Structure 1
């Protein structure tokens, strides 16, 4: 699973948080390549009715809500993947509300896989660009770990040795060489 970040968090009321888990067209600079999410990338996942979880720092044991229960609402708009989350009355939920209010946690991330044909690669001015056309969204997460400047927060696990070997071999680029997991 791949993980990307973006968005600003805001308390939408007592026990509610809203923001953008992804912003369309914003370039993420991920070491050896740039990446952008295109409008419509999440449409299939949202239409499928699959359960998508909201987590704290991508930790499965820090569940904050889910689309299945209705505590997480997701939709695409012109700006990106918007969400609203009803925080649980749990230690994670209460702590997170305080951290958001203080500004310690101000960003979001999302975890996904890319189905065949879901991305497009090209080289522009000596830099590889990956456009995410369609992704299978697995989770959104609220986090405080910024990793690159064009988005608020990022958490990523990428095997750089395999990445740099892949960019030397154009055949590998079109394959699932960027599958990552945490």
Structure 2
């Protein structure tokens, strides 16, 4: 599964409170059952991919771009918990769909598409540990997750209640980087 093979992983935990999506696309040191094996992502695994151009998509559909790091509409960083993101939703059909589903709490979670560079994985029986990930995209998804413990929050620019909602969401999410 190394090299050019594109893989996808999903995760859950969604919250809505405005127009900007924020949360975690992946978490570190969390076991996920992927078919017949268990997979864990180590801290630092995304470090090499953060300098590249990463897309934010709706349901892994390249025709439904929500943002990208190159334009600054998607921001990605690693902290002690995992791969965190902040996404400014566009005023497009895909952006409005993501917004409406997030507000209704109908989204299934976050996902990411990646490949594994040579030397980026270690196998021990049926356990795969990822130490390097070639991140291509993150996706807001409507399906079921593979990875637990990720999050998505919808942020509002409305100053009247945005700071209160932000404090509540941050309290629910725990430590933010």
Contact 1:10 1:18 in 2 (8 A): no
Residue 25 of structure 1: how far off its partner (Å): 1.1
1:33 to 32, 37, 42: 37
CA distance in 2, matches of 1:131, 1:26: 10
CA distance in 1, matches of 2:40, 2:48: 18
For the aligned residue pairs, the C-alpha RMSD in angstroms reads 1.8
Partner of 2:117: 115
Partner of 1:74: 76
Residue 92 of structure 1: how far off its partner (Å): 0.9
TM-score, normalised on structure 1? 0.75
Structure with more relative contact order (C-alpha pairs < 8 Å, separation 6 or more) = 2
Contact 1:54 1:139 in 2 (8 A): yes
Which digits, 9 at most, give the CA deviation of each residue in 1:12-61, with x for residues without a partner? 63x20011100111111012100011100000111xx2110000000000
Contact 1:42 1:134 in 2 (8 A): yes
Contact 1:9 1:18 in 2 (8 A): no
Provide closer, same or farther for how the CA distance between residues 109 and 96 of structure 1 changes in structure 2, counting only shifts above 3 A.
Answer: same
CA distance in 2, matches of 1:135, 1:43: 8
CA distance in 2, matches of 1:2, 1:115: 12
Unaligned runs of 5+ in 2: 1-5, 152-177
CA distance in 2, matches of 1:12, 1:122: 42
Number of residue pairs the alignment of both structures matches: 146
SS in structure 1 opposite 2:95?
helix
How is 1:1-182 mapped onto 2 (pairs within 5 angstroms)?
1-11=6-16, 13=18, 15-46=19-50, 49-123=51-125, 128-148=126-146, 150=148
CA distance in 2, matches of 1:149, 1:45: 20
CA distance in 2, matches of 1:62, 1:44: 25
Q: Say which is worse superposed, 65-74 or 89-98, in terms of deviation.
A: 89-98
